[in-house]
């Protein structure tokens, strides 16, 4: 490495964010740019550890450890320290089709397994990654890269989320004619409508990449629901030599308790999608939290996005119910490095809520028991109870209500952010695909071939709800296996 003692000389720094009470007044991205000199110092902290777990990309205890797309992190950290930005970009693009996405929304399992993280705060990997790609766009180094030759083979990719986009990009590089089908009005899937604009700008970042892919020869067909009467699966298979299904896990987990049918109770993605469409179209047709007491049921990233969006609407209050206990401030004994650190974190939404209302909106070890409404059928309150996790007769830990902890919380808007059960079944039935025990498309990891020859599956529709970066991993892998199916072998990584 260029600075062997860098990890001893520099402390971890991340870019400053816009002040919470300022940024909740708009939908712009809230991370500020870090000067090049500071980025170089952060790159110098990469400690030449010999066995860099940061790009290992393995599962330990069911969680990602290291980068699932095997980014060559120590190499481009060193290049940034030495001010070789173009070379750093070349190394980054060898493994990552879309660093502008991962550098913004990936939870950075690479940092969780950073060797320096054993004794000190981890290297600031994620921010360096996004800085490299943005420097590439600013300098004009990112330009359409057309394939050297075309094979004449046609591939359909169903779904334009992270897995679909990475599969399309790789298949196009291999010279195939790729058409991406998307049922929404704009491409991007989760990147377009599942992640709020303040985390990932749609026009400046997502559509910028879509336009670049179009210039490289990828076709996008939107407002098309493959598998229905408009575009039957049989028609798709007859018109294309191969198909990659990357539709995600979009079937939300519901909460079927008393009062569920009341108005004002919505799935989180319904809320977030409508909001992003309104921002892009300048319309007013969205689910508004303005002036309302908002209850969000679910404590993950999607719940946080609901907190941030509700604050920008001007909600009266916001509460986030989490059935699990608060994570410890430091790694527990049963959560050693290089596992993903299951420690307490304050994300942007909670930081904003604390600045606005004076406290973190999360309430732990609490669940909803019923919804209450008025005479017009509108939700007005959520009845909750605290829980304790106890073993049942099978030795499984389950939440048990704690007597005397019942509470009624006012609510004008309830958002269900409890994760996803798996892919929607209609497309699976249309292709007559086999599924696994969790209702996901049955396709072996690293092979991605389904029960139908020439049909491949990648991303959350195959593995279940997971990280964006795992979707990129699977999209690239499915492209490789699809290319091998079409050509007999493949040079794709």
Interatomic CA distance for residues 51 and 299, integer angstroms: 34
Select from 387, 418, 449 the last residue of a domain: 418
> Rounded to an integer, what distance in angstroms lies between the CA atom of residue 241 and that of residue 312?
46
CATH number for position 69: 1.10.1060.10
pLDDT at 229 over 90: no
Task: Give residue-wise pLDDT tens across range 164-181.
Answer: 999 999 999 999 999 999
Cα–Cα distance for residue pair 38/345, rounded to 1 Å:
24
Cβ atoms of 382 and 409 within 8 Å: the answer is yes
* Other C-beta atoms lying within 10 Å of the C-beta of residue 388: 13
Domain membership of residue 111 (yes or no) is yes
**356 and 473 assigned to the same domain:** no
Instruction: Report, as an integer, the average pLDDT of 84-104.
Output: 98
Structural domain range at position 397: 254-418
d(CA 112, CA 341): 6
Cβ atoms of residues 191 and 104 within 8 Å: no
In which band, very low, low, confident or very high, does the pLDDT at 1 lie, cut at 50, 70 and 90?
Answer: low
Same domain, 185 and 301: no
Whole-angstrom distance, CA of residue 22 vs CA of residue 26: 8
Backbone angles phi, psi at 234, to 5 degrees: -65, -40
> Is 102 a domain residue?
yes
Q: Looking at the structure, tell me whether residues 211 and 343 fall in a common domain.
A: no
Give yes or no for a contact between 385 and 370, defined as CB atoms under 8 angstroms apart: no
Asked whether the predicted pLDDT for residue 268 surpasses 90, the reply is yes
Q: What is the DSSP letter of 390?
A: E
Comparing CA positions, the residue from 295, 275, 133 lying closest to residue 212 is 133
Q: What is the pLDDT of residue 129?
A: 97
Q: Confidence band (pLDDT; 50, 70, 90) for 91?
A: very high
pLDDT in tens, 457-484: 999 999 999 999 999 999 999 999 999 9
Strand partners for 265 = 414
Neighbours of 50 (CB within 10 A): 7
Q: Among residues 418, 439, 458, which one ends one of the domains?
A: 418
d(Cα 85, Cα 53) in Å, to the nearest integer? 23
User: pLDDT tier at 6 (50, 70, 90 boundaries)?
Assistant: very high
**Residue at a domain's end among 394, 418, 442:** 418
pLDDT in tens, 371-398: 999 999 999 999 999 999 999 999 999 9
Instruction: Provide Rg for the chain, Cα atoms.
Output: 23
Confidence at 411, pLDDT banded by 50, 70, 90: very high
Give the H or E element holding residue 27. none
428: left (phi over 0), alpha (psi -120 to 50) or beta: alpha
In a domain, 148, yes or no: no
The encoded tokens of residue 319 equal 């509460």
Q: Hey, what are 286's tokens?
A: 């969205």
Q: Is residue 403 part of a domain?
A: yes
Q: Are residues 439 and 477 in the same domain?
A: yes
Distance (Å, whole) CA 200 – CA 190: 11
- How many CB atoms are located within 10 Å of the residue 94 CB? 13
- Read off the pLDDT of each residue in 198-203 and give the average, rounded to a whole number: 98
Closest to 443 in 3D by CA, of 252, 179, 238, 247: 247
pLDDT-derived band at 196, boundaries 50, 70, 90: very high
Q: Are residues 295 and 240 in the same domain?
A: no
Name residue 156's beta-bridge partners: 179, 243
* Claim to verify: residue 267 and residue 408 sit in the same structural domain: yes
* Pair 426, 280 in one domain: no
Q: Is residue 1 part of a domain?
A: no
Q: Are 263 and 376 part of one and the same domain?
A: yes
- Within a domain: 144: no
Residue 34 lies inside a defined structural domain of this protein: yes
Contacts of 461 (CB under 8 A, 6+ apart): 159, 163, 245, 246, 247, 248, 249, 422, 423, 440, 441
233 and 346 belong to one structural domain: no
Spatial CA neighbour of 57 closest among 391, 381, 476: 476
Residues 118 and 230 in one domain: no
Q: Tell me, yes or no, whether 492 lies in a domain.
A: no
Domain count, the chain: 3
Confidence (pLDDT) at 284: 79
Instruction: State the average pLDDT for the chain.
Output: 96
CATH code of the domain containing 287: 3.50.50.60
Tell whether 212 and 291 lie within a shared domain. no
Residues 384 and 311 in one domain: yes
202/100 Cα distance (integer angstroms): 12
Backbone angles phi, psi at 415, to 5 degrees: -120, 125
What whole-number distance in Å separates Cα of residue 214 and Cα of residue 220? 8
Question: For the residues of 202-255, what is the DSSP string, one character each?
Answer: IIIIIHHHHHHHHHTT-EEE-S--BTSSSB-HHHHHHH-SEEEE-----EEPP-
| Distance of alpha carbon 401 from alpha carbon 166, whole angstroms | 44
Task: Assign 51 a pLDDT band (cuts: 50, 70, 90).
Answer: confident
pLDDT at residue 283, rounded to an integer: 82
Q: State the Cα–Cα distance between residues 374 and 382, nearest whole angstrom.
A: 12
pLDDT > 90 in the chain, percent: 94
């Amino acid at each position: 490495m260029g600075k062997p003692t860098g990890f001893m000389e520099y402390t971890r720094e991340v870019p400053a964010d816009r002040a919470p009470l300022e940024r909740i007044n708009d939908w712009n991205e809230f991370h500020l740019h870090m000067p090049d000199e500071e980025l170089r110092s952060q790159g110098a902290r990469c400690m030449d550890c010999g066995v860099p777990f940061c790009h290992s990309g393995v599962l330990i205890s069911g969680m990602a450890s290291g980068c699932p797309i095997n980014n060559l992190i120590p190499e481009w950290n060193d290049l940034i320290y030495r001010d070789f930005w173009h070379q750093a970009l070349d190394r980054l693009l060898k493994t990552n089709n879309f660093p502008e996405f991962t550098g913004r929304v990936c939870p950075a399992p690479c940092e969780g397994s950073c060797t320096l993280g054993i004794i000190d705060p981890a290297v600031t990997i994620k921010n360096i990654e996004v800085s490299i790609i943005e420097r590439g766009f600013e300098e004009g180094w990112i330009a359409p890269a057309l394939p050297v030759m075309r094979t004449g083979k046609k591939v359909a990719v169903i779904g334009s989320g992270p897995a679909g986009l990475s599969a399309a990009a790789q298949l196009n590089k291999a010279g195939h004619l790729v058409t991406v089908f998307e049922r929404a009005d704009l491409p991007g899937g989760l990147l377009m409508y599942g992640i709020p604009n303040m985390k990932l700008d749609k026009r400046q970042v997502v559509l910028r990449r879509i336009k670049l892919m179009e210039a490289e020869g990828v076709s996008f067909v939107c407002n098309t629901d493959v598998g229905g009467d408009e575009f039957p699966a049989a028609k798709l298979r007859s018109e294309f030599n191969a198909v990659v299904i990357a539709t995600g896990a979009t079937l939300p987990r519901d909460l079927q308790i008393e009062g569920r049918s009341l108005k004002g109770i919505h799935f989180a993605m319904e809320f977030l999608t409508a909001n992003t469409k309104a921002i892009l179209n300048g319309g007013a047709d969205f689910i508004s939290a303005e002036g309302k007491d908002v209850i969000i049921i679910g404590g993950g990233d999607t719940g946080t996005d609901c907190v941030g969006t509700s604050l920008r609407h001007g909600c009266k209050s916001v509460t986030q119910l989490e059935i699990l206990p608060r994570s410890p401030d430091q790694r527990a004994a049963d959560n050693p490095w290089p596992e993903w650190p299951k420690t307490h974190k304050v994300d942007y939404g909670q930081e904003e809520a604390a600045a606005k209302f004076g406290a973190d909106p999360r309430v732990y070890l609490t669940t909803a028991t019923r919804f209450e409404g008025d005479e017009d059928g509108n939700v007005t309150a959520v009845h909750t109870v605290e829980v304790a996790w106890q073993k049942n007769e099978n030795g499984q830990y389950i939440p048990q209500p704690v007597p005397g902890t019942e509470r009624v919380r006012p609510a004008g808007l309830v958002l269900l952010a409890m994760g996803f059960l798996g892919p929607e079944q209609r497309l699976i039935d249309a292709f007559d695909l086999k599924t696994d025990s969790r209702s996901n498309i049955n396709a072996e990891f690293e092979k991605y071939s389904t029960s139908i020859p020439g049909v491949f599956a990648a991303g959350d529709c195959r593995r279940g709800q997971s990280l964006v970066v795992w979707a990129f991993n699977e999209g690239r892998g499915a492209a490789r296996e699809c290319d091998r199916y079409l050509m007999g072998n493949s040079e794709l990584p």
